[in-house]
Amino acid sequence: MIFDWTRCCRPCETRELQGEDPLVLDGAGLWTGVLSSGGCTLEGPGAVQTTGSSGDILLGFGTITLWPLSPCHLLCLRLDGSAVTEFLQGLAAPRFVDSAACPTAAEQLARLCSAPAPEAGAAPDPAVGAAPYALLCALAHADEPPRRLSPLVAEAVESIRNNYMALYGVEDLAQALGVSKCHLVRVFSAEMGISPGKYLTHTRIEAAKLLLLDREYNLEMIASLCGFSGANYLCRVFRRETGTSPAAWREAAAPHAEVKRLPPRRNEIYV
């Protein structure tokens, strides 16, 4: 191997903040993650911009503690390597940043977090390769002022967040907005770094995760409440997006937890 990406930037471990219990993160390198629902505060060495809300991205180092302000979900990844060391030279303090400043980072991070962890001593997976470094490059823009969404994309995001249960798909959304599907996909993807169809799917999956925390909801009910055509389709999409089944996710996430409400329907970014 001429160049070993793992020396430059490598994923080390993933952690998950779920519900209302605080989470302590430590270890060498950079902690980064997407707050996909709820809100929390950050405590750490010289932390700034310490309150995060749904859609924000965490950038942290050293020992940091996340305190939920409400039931929330944050999946985070620790990166290490020579490029990470250079990255941290420019990160003065742990913080939350607006994901609109680096719109592709959230999806890249989700892919890396869902990838199976390599076995100890195993050779680097060429399929992963430069993916962690690409994520780091995307995060390099996190301190730039976020771009304002155009009226069309802002309305599309709000419509998805408010109507994910009833939308049949991108065609339905485009018709409601009075534009062609091709135009909506082109503009939305350029501004958000993700297609409207993928954004809709992510929103539905996050809604399903919250409902899975309450065992009173069976899979058919969850599928209906989240806009899926049935339990079988929900299971296929859920496994494709998360790498596990809804039942396995329910057991691992919170076997006895209860959820009181559906995810907030506001103009927020889900990943």
For residue range 220-267, what is the model confidence (pLDDT) as tens digits?
A: 999 999 999 899 999 999 998 888 889 888 887 654 444 444 444 444
Looking at residue 210, its pLDDT comes to: 77
Mean pLDDT, the chain, whole residue set: 82
Question: At residue 136, does pLDDT exceed 60?
Answer: yes
Looking at residue 44, its pLDDT comes to: 86
E strand or H helix that includes residue 107: helix 105-114
Cβ neighbour number for residue 65 with a 10 Å cutoff: 16
Largest CA distance in the chain: 55
Q: What is the DSSP string of 7-51?
A: HH-EEEEEEEEEETS-EEE-SSSEEEEEEEESEEEEE-TT--S-E
Looking at residue 146, its pLDDT comes to: 58
Q: Is the pTM of this model over 0.85?
A: no
Looking at residue 264, its pLDDT comes to: 44
Sheet holding 23-25, edge to edge: 23-25, 64-68, 39-43, 51-53
What span, in angstroms and rounded, lies between the C-alpha atoms of 51 and 40? 6
- How do strand 23-25 and strand 64-68 relate by DSSP bridges? antiparallel
User: How much is the CA Rg of the chain, to the nearest whole Å?
Assistant: 19
Rounded to an integer, the average pLDDT of 204-218 is 83
Tens-digit pLDDT profile for residues 36-95 = 888 899 998 888 878 988 888 999 999 999 999 988 888 899 999 999 999 999 888 999
Higher pLDDT, 215 or 270: 215
Q: Are 236 and 201 in contact (CB under 8 A)?
A: no
Domains, the chain, in order of start with CATH, read 5-139 (2.60.120.10), 151-253 (1.10.10.60)
Tens-digit pLDDT profile for residues 72-84 = 888 899 999 999 9
Q: At what angle do helices 82-89 and 131-139 cross, to 10 degrees?
A: 0
Looking at residue 171, its pLDDT comes to: 92
Question: At residue 118, does pLDDT exceed 70?
Answer: no
What span, in angstroms and rounded, lies between the C-alpha atoms of 136 and 139? 5
Closest CA to 136 of 170, 91, 180, 95: 91
Closest CA to 59 of 147, 128, 145, 135: 135
Tens-digit pLDDT profile for residues 93-111 = 999 988 777 767 877 787 7
CA dihedral 134, 9, 73, 203 (to 10 degrees): 20
Looking at residue 191, its pLDDT comes to: 86
**Who contacts 215 (Cβ-Cβ below 8 Å, separation ≥6)?**
250
Q: Residue 74's beta-bridge partner residues? A: 17, 35
Tens-digit pLDDT profile for residues 5-29 = 678 888 999 999 888 899 999 999 9
Rounded to an integer, the average pLDDT of 165-174 is 90
Closest CA to 115 of 131, 99, 135: 131
Tens-digit pLDDT profile for residues 182-205 = 999 999 998 888 899 999 998 888
Looking at residue 123, its pLDDT comes to: 52
